[in-house]
Amino acid sequence: MPTPAKPLAGLKVIELGTLIAGPFASRICAEFGAEVIKVESPDGGDPLRKWRKLYEGTSLWWFVQARNKQSLTLNLKHPEGREILKQLLAGADILIENFRPGVLEKLGLGWDVLHALNPRLVMVRLSGFGQTGPMKDQPGFGAVGESMGGLRYITGFEDRPPVRTGISIGDSIAALWGVIGALMALRHREVNGGEGQVVDVALYEAIFAMMESMVPEFDVFGFIRERTGNIMPGITPSSIHTSADGRHVQIGANGDAIFKRFMQAIGRDDLAEDATLASNDGRDLRRDELYGVIDRWVNSLPLEQVMQSLNDAGVPASRIYSAEDMFSDPQFLAREMFLQAKLPDGKPFKMPGIVPKLSQTPGSTEWVGPALGEHTATLLAGLGYSDAQVARLREQGAV
């Protein structure tokens, strides 16, 4: 049977982004079939090319973040560079950009200009503080969004300063909101007959939207959630514990029936049958007592025995995985969460698999992140530029 088209096949996405939020959003589009053209400065391109661990001078992160994309170098300070971009946008479906607000307007590429050029265009704008408000002109990275949006305040232990998560989670969450917004805008365009529109994502708001019950708890009770380490405040028991062999396990036994099974499994029938612990509110009142019981049990056994007991009792739990753990884990392997690819010199390497899993039209990786400007000549030829014209544009510094 013929391979079905990917769900975003036929869409053209232009990326004017660097580093994380914008490029991650367009990466998702590229994985599911959209034609993604990444516009980069001829002077070095996306800084992500040089971030974290480098292989032969290029970031391994780059090969993942830019997979399935075409790299076109354009100097947007050059009038002919801007003209080429306009030609691309005239036939595009989505523009993803994460410049500071006002940068595109200064280049003559604001929403009013682009909407007039292509009324069907959806423009995803990712920035620190959004396109409006008194802070819109301030620079804002993901770390700033995580701080202002409330995540950093509650992350860490109560007797220490706030800490960050180990990844750029603020940028990635903003990227997901950007993709969600773009797909909503496309549905409005295609199903409701509407025109293109702006999807305005602020990094701090992307985080703020994930903060669960923080707003009503403060508004109704004046309650401010504080740092609580590894436990989930108000949801008991759910925490990380250390085994006899010094390994760590996350146990989430906060469901009523699960808690009862858990206590029975560790020989505490008295707690399993205690009516005051039958629901979460009662367990949370005795949180310290329960965590002491669980700590002592986990600490008395090696991790494998802890995990076996928890699995036999149907208690949700996981050891804390490192990358090394993931590489040999049967679940990761069964779900094809590692894709085999090749670096430019032919060296094989693994990259993360595709999320989410679509049963009929799954995403895939066709090629890894391209060399800077790798597709410039081909894309310009597609716009009608001759070899001589491309050579002239290169000489003038437009591409």
Active site residues: 171
Q: How far apart are CA 21 and CA 14, in angstroms?
A: 14
Between CA 243 and CA 305 the distance in angstroms is 9
Cβ 257 vs Cβ 302: under 8 Å: no
3-state helix, strand, coil in the chain (%, to 5): 40, 15, 45
Q: What is the CA radius of gyration of the chain?
A: 25
What number of H helices and E strands is found in the chain? 18, 13
From the number of C-beta atoms within 10 Å of its C-beta (0-12, 13-18, 19+), residue 159 rates as: exposed
Using CA atoms, how far apart are residues 126 and 18, in angstroms rounded to an integer? 11
Give the integer Cα–Cα distance in Å for 140 and 21. Answer: 12
* Burial class of residue 11 (count of CB atoms within 10 Å of its CB; 0-12, 13-18, 19+): buried
